[in-house]
């Protein structure tokens, strides 16, 4: 099944031969290799690039194990760049598998060689264009970016968006949203027929790929059960405010385990480094400042989230919120959780401060949108509840209510736009409707 990842393909084409290393990151099995080795390589062939000009290597495969040694990897690539008159395209998949080794030519035990040294060296070959993929954001830490000296371009690849999923969906399109909310956007899921097959695949990805990677990378020897429990707690509470202190208290009260907030914070960073989770900060709309804690965590793929819970908790309202968050990030927006503080008078006359939530404060350059996610606003009381926070925002940026109902987009008397979630996800211009 050929799924066109046009958004990412166009980014690669735009950065072709720009003298910088193209670093393709994202969750393992989300389609990075397919994008590079199939879609982009096919594009290059169409432009007249010959096979010997494509130097490809998948480091997560056993036949390539020797090239996890940085010196062997460097030798492999250089031996294939033979003609100074030709342009060569070097594509190295899952480069984080390259080990750091002792420099054999230097006595200093602190002198190490790793993939950074390989990439920097290859970048000096004038007729080589370098592309690497990686599934660990630590490979893009500030230290590593400093070593690249601003000579790298990151292209973040996500699991299939609903629009990509919908285009490739082989079945009654009326069921596409249901299946996407259940099984998510990992590309291989689309080629599977039964629930059992999809469920096993997603569970295995978690246990045999993602969690194993995290445990091995960070040498977590005796706390794998804690990692499992933490993921399950987060999966059960997507769309809810939390922080390491709250999570630590949950472990103490429900699991009878003492896990420090610092340890939980570290584990959360591991999940984000592996692109399993994404975090949304809270933003005080009126005060124009960020609130340090609590905040929200969302899963990069809702199918993986559901698999963690055995597909038992299928609350469409939270899943829909997670899908919208992921799609807004994919479109290049910065996405925060909004807070609008107001003063209100209780029945006894007592004045209290109250915080209203805006699901998403969405920014890109000078653009800003306030977005609420709601299953329905058909009932007037429900509509009032969902729009109360939007009415208290003292600026003129567009305010949008995305609903599960299949509706024709419309504006109310306050100028708020109401749009169905499928329309919103399938038409990126709907945000400006």
CA–CA distance, 241 with 260 (Å, rounded to integer): 19
Residue 313 has pLDDT above 90, yes or no: no
145 pLDDT tier (thresholds 50, 70, 90): low
- Residue 102 inside a domain? The answer is yes
Is residue 108 located within the same domain as residue 236? no
Instruction: Locate the DSSP E strands across 60-212.
Output: 88-93, 101-102, 112-113, 128-134, 152-156
pTM of this prediction exceeds 0.95: no
Instruction: Locate the DSSP E strands across 137-252.
Output: 152-156
- Residue 85 inside a domain? The answer is yes
What DSSP designation does 242 have?
A: B
Please state, rounded to an integer, the average pLDDT across all residues of the chain: 93
Note the pLDDT tens digit of each residue in 6-37.
Answer: 999 999 999 999 999 999 999 999 999 999 99
Strand partners for 131: 22, 91
pLDDT value of residue 42: 97
- Residue 328 inside a domain? The answer is no
Note the pLDDT tens digit of each residue in 346-405.
Answer: 777 778 888 999 999 999 999 999 999 999 999 999 999 999 999 999 999 999 999 999
Is residue 85 located within the same domain as residue 64? yes
Strand partners for 112: 102
Is residue 169 located within the same domain as residue 148? no
Residue 88 has pLDDT above 90, yes or no: yes
Window from 127-136, 144-153, 174-183, 392-401 with minimum mean pLDDT: 144-153
Alpha carbon distances (Å) from 357 to 53, 360, 388, 389, 393: 54, 9, 9, 6, 11
Is residue 145 located within the same domain as residue 210? no
Is residue 23 located within the same domain as residue 105? yes
Q: State percent of the chain over pLDDT 70.
A: 98
- Residue 286 inside a domain? The answer is no
Is residue 81 located within the same domain as residue 104? yes
Is residue 44 located within the same domain as residue 26? yes
State which of 100, 124, 156 marks the end of a domain: 156
Is residue 57 located within the same domain as residue 34? yes
User: Which residues contact residue 252 at a Cβ distance below 8 angstroms, ignoring those fewer than 6 apart?
Assistant: 258, 259
Name the residue among 394, 372, 396 with its Cα closest to residue 384: 372
Query: How many domains is the chain partitioned into structurally?
Result: 3
- Residue 55 inside a domain? The answer is yes
> What's the CA angle centered on 426, arms 425 and 430, to 5 degrees?
75
Is residue 87 located within the same domain as residue 178? no
State which of 136, 156, 176 marks the end of a domain: 156
pLDDT value of residue 389: 96
Quick one: tokens of 111? 């002198």
Is residue 176 located within the same domain as residue 150? no
Residue 325 has pLDDT above 70, yes or no: yes
Q: Is 319 exposed, middle or buried (0-12, 13-18, 19+ CB in 10 A)?
A: buried
Is residue 14 located within the same domain as residue 104? yes
Is residue 54 located within the same domain as residue 76? yes
Range of the domain at 69: 6-156
State which of 106, 139, 156 marks the end of a domain: 156
- For residue 87, what is the domain's CATH number? 3.40.50.300
pLDDT value of residue 224: 87
CA–CA distance, 388 with 395 (Å, rounded to integer): 15
- For residue 415, what is the domain's CATH number? 3.40.1350
3-state secondary structure of 102: strand
User: Which residues contact residue 14 at a Cβ distance below 8 angstroms, ignoring those fewer than 6 apart?
Assistant: none
143 pLDDT tier (thresholds 50, 70, 90): low
């Amino acid at each position: 099944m050929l799924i066109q990842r046009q958004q990412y393909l166009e980014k690669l084409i735009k950065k072709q031969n720009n003298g910088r290393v193209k670093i393709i990151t994202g969750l393992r099995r989300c389609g990075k290799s397919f994008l590079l080795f199939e879609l982009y390589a096919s594009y290059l062939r169409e432009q007249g690039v010959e096979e010997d000009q494509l130097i490809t290597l998948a480091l997560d495969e056993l036949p390539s194990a020797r090239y996890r040694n940085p010196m062997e990897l460097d030798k492999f690539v250089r031996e294939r760049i033979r003609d100074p008159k030709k342009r060569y395209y070097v594509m190295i998949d899952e480069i984080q598998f390259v080990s750091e080794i002792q420099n054999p030519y230097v006595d200093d035990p602190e002198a190490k060689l790793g993939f950074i040294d390989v990439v920097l060296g290859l970048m000096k070959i004038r007729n080589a264009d370098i592309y690497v993929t990686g599934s660990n954001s630590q490979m893009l830490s500030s230290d590593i970016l400093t070593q690249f000296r601003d000579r790298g371009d990151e292209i973040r690849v996500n699991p299939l968006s609903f629009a990509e999923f919908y285009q490739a969906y082989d079945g009654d399109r009326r069921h596409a949203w249901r299946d996407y909310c259940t099984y998510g956007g990992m590309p291989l899921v689309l080629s599977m027929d039964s629930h059992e097959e999809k469920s096993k695949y997603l569970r295995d990805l978690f246990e045999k790929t993602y969690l194993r990677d995290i445990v091995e990378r960070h040498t977590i020897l005796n706390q794998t059960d804690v990692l499992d429990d933490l993921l399950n707690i987060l999966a059960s509470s997507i769309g809810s405010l939390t922080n390491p202190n709250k999570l630590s208290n949950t472990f103490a009260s429900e699991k009878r385990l003492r896990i420090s907030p610092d340890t939980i914070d570290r584990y959360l960073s591991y999940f984000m480094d592996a692109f399993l989770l994404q975090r949304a900060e809270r933003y005080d709309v009126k005060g124009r400042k960020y609130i340090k804690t609590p905040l929200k965590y969302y899963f990069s793929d809702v199918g993986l989230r559901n698999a963690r819970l055995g597909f038992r908790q299928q609350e469409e309202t939270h899943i829909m919120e997670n899908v919208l968050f992921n799609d807004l990030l994919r479109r290049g927006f910065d996405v925060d959780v909004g807070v609008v503080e107001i003063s209100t008078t209780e029945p006894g006359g007592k004045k209290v401060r109250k915080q209203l939530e805006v699901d998403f404060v969405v920014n890109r350059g000078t653009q800003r949108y306030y977005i609420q996610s709601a299953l329905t606003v058909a009932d007037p009381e429900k509509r009032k509840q969902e729009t109360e926070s939007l009415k208290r925002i003292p600026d003129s940026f567009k305010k949008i209510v995305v609903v599960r109902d299949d509706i024709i987009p419309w504006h109310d008397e306050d100028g708020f736009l109401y749009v169905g979630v499928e329309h919103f996800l399938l038409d990126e211009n709907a945000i400006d409707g």
